[in-house]
Structure 1
Amino acid sequence: MTTSPIERAADSFAAELARHRTGRGLSKKQLATLMGFDPSYVSHVEGRRHRPTEDFARRAEAVLEASGAIWQRFREYDELRHSRAGGAHRELAVPNQWLPPGTGLVVERETATLTHTDHGYHCAIRRELYNAGTEPITRYLVRVAVDRYPNDPGRSNRHHRAHPLTFAELQLAAYRDDGGGAREPMHWRAKHDRDAFKEIWLLFENDEGRFPLYPGDRVTIEYAYRAGRDKWGPWFQRAVRLPTRHLAVRLDLPAELDPKVWGMETSLSAEEGPLRTPIQRRDEDGRTLFDWATDDPPLNARYRMLWRFRSQPSGTEPDGPRRPIRASDRMRAIGIVQRDDDLLRHPARQFDLPRDERVARDVVDRLSAIMARLDELHPFSKGVGIAAPQLGLGWAAALVRPADRAAEPVVLLNPRVVDSAVDTDEQYEGCLSFFDHRGLVPRSLRIDVEHAHWDGSRIITSFEYAMARLVAHEIDHLAGRLYVDRMAPGVPLVPVEEYRETGTPWRY
């Protein structure tokens, strides 16, 4: 039977939608929920029982972060539909960041300033927030990361272990604008405390009471902290973790040091490259100011400004010769055990639950902290997992998060595969423990995994496609097995510099 061009375009849209959905490891029902549609709606569109609408295409493009592919298929379909109806051609605007129902905070404007002082660096962040969700917000998560020698991760890691960053030296202070121009203090509480990395909850409360941010309301908050030059290297990074309308960054450096500044950016769809717009420079009262800004930055993008002082003051330590930083160096620097360590070949110890619950929760907390840190280092568009042995912890625990960064990671305690599909496929995998390469690995398209709750009761969960691959990879780690053990004989590893699928999900 011959199909019309518009039917073929609708088929193409449905196929593109299904490809990105399965690549993200989402069921039709899960995707519909994230998009704010009835659970059956995605199924109807993929099955061609419903025609796609502009709103549906916008939401699918935003939720699946398809780099414009879903939107392009809809444009092709929509142009044919309007041509058949005799309507004039209309140019659809590229969708902005669409906010799914239930989205919490939106950053309407962020201004980040890093100032070089006599004693080190002072960082001040000002954010204008809007609650686009349906629930009051009572706290806001901020992250502080330092890296003394960014061009030598091993050296930096050793340095921070010997000289850890402390909350006392941060001198963290946070405020909110009370609406009348006055600043009102905000309390804060530590969430994670690592040698060179802190996570901190800013609380919408103080000694005078609580002031939640209610749905539909706006507030401006500010927070600032300090770090000595023995902790802070020549870099300043902003990561876009919430929908953001405008981001502005300023470096305030002494003119007498003759600073030279440049910038890099990374996103889910692109490897690291130079900033797309130039940094503006001006001199003022013995200071050199470097300003850079962007509108509507994509979620999970990272912008890093770097500098060097061409006139080094006496008594200071130069950073030494620059050398390329390998991907594995970045992983090693945050404490991830690398491939040549025998720890990765030892089977992990099973928890005796509930007796070992306290130990298990501590291990999972450490895995969670590293997973949060990983988001600063790489765009995990295929999802990410980490097993306890990769942190030098010989326990049978792993965390796996799908490509959707908003999703909660799956906690696996004492997991084992109890069944798997006959159907398999081969995809390229990476591993945090040797991140300089990618390897072509066969895996089952579905696995059933028995794993434990905190109280020792057991459950069987079925994982498909991308999640099946991620979970199987981590369970292998707990058995002392690496993905290279599963590769066909003679198949070479691909250096990450030659791998062309970074920023894209697996295809099914």
Structure 2
Amino acid sequence: MTTSPVERAADQFVTALAQWRLERGMTKKQLAARMGFDPSYVSHVEGRRHKPTEDFARRAEAVLAAGGAIWQKFQEYDELRHARATPVHRDPPVPAQWMPPGTGLIVEREHAALTYIDGGYRCRVRRALYNAGNEPVTRYLMKIAVDRYPHDPAGSNRHHREHPLTWDELDIEAVAGEGEAVEPMHWRLKLDRDAAKEVWLLFANDHGQFPLYPGERTTIEYAYTVGAEKWGQWFQRAVRLPTRHLTVRLDFPVEFEPQVWGLETSLAAEVPVRTPLERHNENDRAIFEWSTGAPLLNARYRLEWRFRGAGAPTYEETAPPATEPLNGHTFSVPEQRASHRMRGIGIVQRGSDLLRQRARHFQLPREERSARDAVTSLLTTLERLEALHEFSKGVGLAAPQIGLAAAAAVVQPPERDAEPVVLLNPRLIGESDDTDEQYEGCLSFFDYRGLVVRPLWIEVEHARYDGTRVITSFEQAMARLVSHEIDHLEGRLYVDRMAADATLVPMSEYQQSGQPWAY
């Protein structure tokens, strides 16, 4: 019996799903529960009694952390399925199971724009909604939150107590519908705080109600204004409803000379967004735009910026607390942190749980694509680092430092013309008795330097993409750099290797910047 390309693609999706489920040690019932489905649903999909849906594939990918393998197989299946179907000119109905439990709304498209005008920011959000539930929708929650000093919570709280958001300045407006069918929306207060407001946008106005019934679509658009003295240099979109496509746009005066970057944030880490921002100029305006398809539920996408031109609003940092403890060492905190620059390009900073976890080894060659993607992300970040600091001693970067709990690292030797060394699943198997003590820094703790004893020669077993193992020897500076990165993959920071009575040296007092280690 001959099978069609669509059937073969469906079989490949099911095979990938089952392999990753077994890899993670889950039963079908356990996986269904983690995904928010009926206990028998995974069994039905693996048994080919149910066709896989977009939501099912995305949830399975997220729960099983398959490095994109499950999602790729679904996309291949979905493309073939749609290729043989009759073309349509509008979004197809969204299956009910695509929504999380208890939620009936789907955001088919979101366009969020932030524009600097006359000393303030005007935020305008447009969402195309589809009611995939069983009940009419009569309201939509709008949240407004500001944080003037995001790296200094105490200072930010103090600032907003003295300069709270006011309803007059917000100047909220909201409408629903499109074209001639646009209706103004009334709103009702839900939360009123100094730095945060929440209101229910009502599908109602003076002329009556216009609920969004099951199976219907509409578009809502709302806007509000916040003064630059209350708005920090960031704009974040949180994916609270199933969303098919998200676009974020920033609009600044060209004379401000804006520099913008993007981060995907979670409780564990901040990593650069997966695709670059696009910039173009329109007359005297600098426009930055970033888009993503099928963002994961609960993901947070954050654009940050700085202005370098004259006349632009300033974003000075409020002084942080006088002292902070770390591993028994107490030290002063500088007013301008070098770590802020590292955080700005997505380097995970100390305090994150991710830096204290042992990284997961790749299953090679099966996970070759995931390993290559991780290394590409590391090398891309390494290139961005060169614009921020001169690394005369060489520099290394481990996957946990860019938000990936995977055993991959890259090391740039001190020689500028040397190619970076790639380490996959590295393991220290030998070291010399001879050691030396040198000052080390860390991209995840870049405000200080500390004296660390390391062996002068090490032997490391690591993997190629095809799964073969190799053994490489490193000495002196490279031995120190590689040892530092292997520590990261084992959940260890260099301060863990410092003597109990050792003192951390602030960057402002460190005398060896721009100089290689001496041997």
Normalised TM-score (structure 1)? 0.51
How far does residue 194 in structure 1 lie from its aligned partner after superposition? 2.3
The 1:276/1:282 distance shift into structure 2, 3 A limit, reads same
Q: CA deviation at 1:75?
A: 10
Matched, 1:66 2:73: no
Deviation at 1:68, TM superposition (A): 5.3
Distance 2:137 2:169 in 1: 29
Partner of 1:254: 253
1:146 is the counterpart of 2:146: yes
User: Do the aligned residues in 2 keep the contact of 1:101 with 1:133 (CA within 8 Å)?
Assistant: no
Quote how far apart the aligned CAs of 1:67 are: 4.6
Paired residues of 2:20 and 2:64 also in contact (CA < 8 A): no
How far, CA to CA, are the matches of 1:120 and 1:293 in structure 2?
Answer: 24
Q: How far did 1:110 drift? A: 1.0
Is the 2:146–2:196 Cα contact (8 Å) retained in structure 1?
Answer: yes
**Which residue of 1 is the match for residue 286 of structure 2?**
288
Q: Quick one: distance in 2 between partners of 1:92 and 1:99? A: 20
TM-score by length of 2: 0.50
1:134 aligns with 2:141: no
Aligned equivalent of 2:112 = 112
**Hey, what does 2:240 align to over in structure 1?**
241
Provide the rounded CA distance (Å) in 1 between the counterparts of 2:286 and 2:17. 55
In 2 relative to 1, CA 275–300 (structure 1 residues): closer, same or farther, beyond 3 Å? same
Gaps of 5+ in 2: 1-14, 83-93, 319-335, 341-347, 353-402, 404-444, 446-486, 493-519
Cα distance change on mapping 1:228 and 1:323 into 2, 3 Å? farther
Shift, 1:297, TM fit: 1.6
Match of 2:358 in 1: none
Match of 1:274 among 272, 277, 284: 272
Distance 2:304 2:16 in 1: 46
- Structure 2 residue matching 1:261: 3-state secondary structure: strand
Q: Judging changes above 3 Å, is the alpha-carbon distance between structure 1 residues 60 and 249 closer, same or farther for their aligned structure 2 residues?
A: closer
Displacement after TM superposition at 1:311 (Å): 1.6
Look up the equivalent residue of 1:55 and give its one-letter code. Answer: K
| 2:97 alignment partner, SS class | coil
Determine the structure 1 residue equivalent to 2:328.
none
* 1:354-392 deviations in Å (ceiling 9; x for gaps): xxxxxxxxxxxxxxxxxxxxxxxxx9xxxxxxxxxxxxx
**Equivalent residues of 1:250, 1:290 under 8 A apart:** yes
Structure 2 letter corresponding to 1:227: V
> Secondary structure of 2:168's match?
helix
Q: Displacement, 1:271?
A: 3.5
Amino acid at match of 1:172: I
The structure-2 alpha-carbon separation of the partners of 1:133 and 1:187, relative to structure 1 and needing over 3 Å to count, comes to same
In structure 1, the residue corresponding to 2:255 is in which secondary structure? helix
**Cross-structure match for 2:304:** 306
Alpha-carbon separation, structure 1, partners of 2:144 and 2:314? 24
Q: Measured at CA, do residues 329 and 14 of structure 1 come closer, stay the same or move farther in structure 2, by a change above 3 Å?
A: closer
Deviation of 1:153 (Å)? 2.5
Map 1:344-383; keep pairs closer than 5 Å.
none
1:391 maps to none
Amino acid across the alignment from 1:111? H
Query: Paired residue for 1:195?
Result: 194
Say whether the 8 Å CA contact 1:174–1:221 is kept in structure 2: yes
Supply the RMSD in Å over aligned alpha carbons: 4.5
Q: Secondary structure at the match of 2:121?
A: strand
AA paired with 2:63?
A
The Cα offsets for residues 114-135 of structure 1, whole Å up to 9 and x where unpaired, read as 1111131111111111111111
Deviations 1:126-172 (A, max 9, x none): 11111111111001112111011123222112211222223332111
Contact 1:254–1:288, Cα closer than 8 Å, also in 2: yes
The 1-side partners of 2:71 and 2:278 are apart by: 39
Cα deviation, residue 214, structure 1: 0.7
Q: What is aligned with 1:165?
A: 165
Shift of 1:232: 0.2
1:224 Cα deviation from its structure 2 partner: 0.3
- Cα distance in 2 for residues equivalent to 1:231 and 1:10: 47
**Match of 1:19, SS?**
coil
Counterpart position of 2:511: none
Contact persistence 1:126–1:220 (CA under 8 A): yes
Q: Secondary structure at the match of 1:244?
A: coil
- Find the residue that maps to 1:220 and give its secondary structure: strand
Query: Per-residue deviation at 1:176?
Result: 1.1
For the structure 1 residues 227 and 329, does the alpha-carbon distance in structure 2 shift closer, same or farther, using more than 3 Å as the test? farther
State the one-letter code of the partner of 1:173: E
| Match in the other structure for 2:230 | 231
Change (3 A) 1:328 1:137: farther
Query: Using a 3 Å threshold, how does the CA distance of structure 1 residues 75 and 111 change in structure 2: closer, same or farther?
Result: closer
Say which SS state the counterpart of residue 220 (structure 2) adopts.
Answer: strand
Find the structure with the greater CA-based Rg: 2
Match of 1:19 in 2: 26
Unaligned 5+ runs, structure 1:
1-7, 79-89, 331-378, 380-435, 437-494, 501-508
1:365 corresponds to = none
Question: What SS does structure 2 have at the residue aligned with 1:226?
Answer: strand
In 1, Cα distance between equivalents of 2:151 and 2:20: 44
Give the residue type in structure 2 aligned to 1:260. Answer: Q
Q: 1:71 to 1:234 in 2, by over 3 A?
A: closer
CA contact (8 A) 1:57 1:71 kept: no
Q: CA offset at residue 183 of structure 1?
A: 3.1
Q: Determine the structure 2 residue equivalent to 1:220.
A: 219
Task: Flag the 1:61–1:286 CA change in 2: closer, same or farther, 3 A.
Answer: closer
Aligned residue pair count:
309
Letter in 1 for 2:195: A
Q: Distance in 2 between matches of 1:104 and 1:224?
A: 24
Q: SS at the partner of 1:165?
A: coil
Say yes or no: does 1:100 pair with 2:64: no
The 2-side partners of 1:275 and 1:293 are apart by 10
Tell me how far apart the structure 1 counterparts of residues 18 and 313 of structure 2 sit (CA, whole Å).
68
Report SS of the residue matched to 2:264: strand
- Check conservation: 2:24, 2:64, Cα contact below 8 A: no
